[in-house]
A and B are shown apart, each in its own frame.
Chain A
Amino acid sequence: MKRFGSYGEGIPGLDLADLTGWLIVIEGPDGVGRSTHVSRLREHLERLGYAVAETGLSRSDLASRGITRAKQGNTLGSNAFNLYYATDFADRLEHQIVPALRAGFVMLTDRYIYSLIARAIVRGADGEWIKNVYSFSLKPDAVFYLRVDAEELVPRVLAEGGFDYWESGMDLPMGEDLYDSFINYQRRVIQELDILATEFEFDTLDATRPVEANAEQLARRVSELLDATESSRMESSG
């Protein structure tokens, strides 16, 4: 039974029918609390007996060092940056996500192509083009979008050590100082994510609610999703 689809022509050499796991994505802006929810969800699923794996942005074996170096030197063209991230993502997709799905894991992904697309658009990339670049990607089983306004991110960012150069879009820059640029940059990213949320049918959660409430909601939705696939598997095999 083939469950997975691709946004385009897929990954060269990959048979989607081999993938039996689940791909769950948590999306949202910088500092919204995605990683908290990923670990909460992981605990919940492991308690139920599922094998769980995690991945996040720019953690690939291939490109993460190069990206770190390019960021430090600030020496890469901005469109080249977009493609560097795409390379990094493709490497993770093929070497982390696909193997986990093939082995029947629940793959929890801290951000997926949507954040990368949103960032690229904010940095001036053509939307249609960048979506096409990422069209090799697998369609996730669900995308949960932790939604907040840019202003609400500020206390969280301050609590975690202050404004980051890139998370503030200072490479553009979008304001006179880190604070202004952060607000303007995050506003634009959220705006793009909102558009993608409609286009790609995200499951949106209000991230201003207490963590507990969202964690419970996430756990419930994911459980439902896993149950639904499993019962359809039973039907098709029985």
Chain B
Amino acid sequence: MSPRGADDLPEFPPPVESPRRRSRPKRGATASARTGGEAQYGSRVSDYPGRLFIVEGIDGSGKSTQLTLLAQWLRGNGYPVVFSEWNSSPVVKSTTSRGKKRKLLTPLTFSLIHATDFSDRVEREIIPSLKAGAIVLADRYVYTAFARDVTRGVPPRWVRSLYRFAVVPTMAFYFRVPLDTALKRILSGRPNLKWYEAGMDLDLDTDVEESYRLFQGRIMKEYEQIVTEYGLHVIDAIKPVEVQQRLLRQAILPHVEHLVRQRETA
């Protein structure tokens, strides 16, 4: 067991903003009446050379497909790309899956364990990659927690404060899709819906599939709220895949052109 080095020292408090930034309005910092107050998510604007793009949307919105296509395109053009997935920190994962399997999680601990996982990824994956000048692509971000946890009854303001340490993304995309379309995409594949995934802990319905429908519907309503609150960029997810992808590429290109690309060497 080796003691951690100075590089692993905590990242708090958030970096002091440079004067250049001060005049610019901070995205996400405008607190709505619903969540108003200090110490909210949105205060940690990144000054790192890298760029962070994230996708959000309900299951079956097609966001992961789009992000994968984007990653391939960026890599093909020589950009350094780091992929960060929701709920993937190796150490925390065992607790999360244990909690899910044994149904030990309450709305509160569900929220906290996901924040723990996310925090680990921010510290050990996202921030170092951004410092190194990479393009970080995240499939789901804090907004997933805001939507799901609030649907489970966690106070909106508390969960926004919980995620204050998170870096505000360069751009955040919300894949808007009609509920029925998304449900058809997921349910026609005969999925093995898990307890928490279907929102069974909310007692919405005893039937797993019906519970899932109701749960997704509620999450979608929360997302719509979040889109306005944080100014997420809406992508119309019923458009053809290639049309959405073109929009996505157009949107991010101006933010990445300055980054160092890798050239093929002889």
Are A and B a genuine interacting pair, yes or no? yes
Using a CB–CB cutoff of 8 Å, the interface residues on chain A facing chain B are 8-9, 11-13, 61-63, 65-66, 69-70, 72-80, 82-84, 86-87, 90-91, 94-95, 123-126, 128-129, 132-133, 135-136, 165, 170-173
Chain B proximity of A69: nearest CB distance (Å): 7
* A80 touching B161, Cβ below 8 Å: no
Contacting residues of chain B (124-173) with chain A, CB-CB under 8 angstroms:
124, 152-155, 157-158, 161-162, 164-165
Is B184's CB within 8 Å of the partner chain A? Answer: no
* A90 touching B153, Cβ below 8 Å: no
* B113 touching A80, Cβ below 8 Å: no
How many residues does chain B have at the interface if contact means C-beta atoms less than 8 Å apart? Answer: 47
Select which of B106, B119, B123 is within 8 A of A12 by beta carbon. Answer: B106
- Please measure, in the bound complex, the distance between the C-alpha atom of A66 and the C-alpha atom of B4, giving whole angstroms: 19
Using a CB–CB cutoff of 8 Å, the interface residues on chain B facing chain A are 1-4, 8-14, 38-39, 89-92, 94-95, 98-99, 104-109, 112-113, 115-117, 119-120, 122-124, 152-155, 157-158, 161-162, 164-165
Chain B proximity of A7: nearest CB distance (Å): 11
Chain B residues lying within 8 Å of A8, measured Cβ to Cβ, are 155, 158
* A91 touching B1, Cβ below 8 Å: no
Chain A proximity of B85: nearest CB distance (Å): 16
Chain B residues lying within 8 Å of A74, measured Cβ to Cβ, are 1-4
* A136 touching B158, Cβ below 8 Å: yes
Given A62-B99, A66-B91, A129-B161, verify A87-B13 contact (CB < 8 Å): no
Chain B proximity of A233: nearest CB distance (Å): 29
Find the B residue at minimum CB distance from A87: B112
Chain A residues lying within 8 Å of B38, measured Cβ to Cβ, are 128
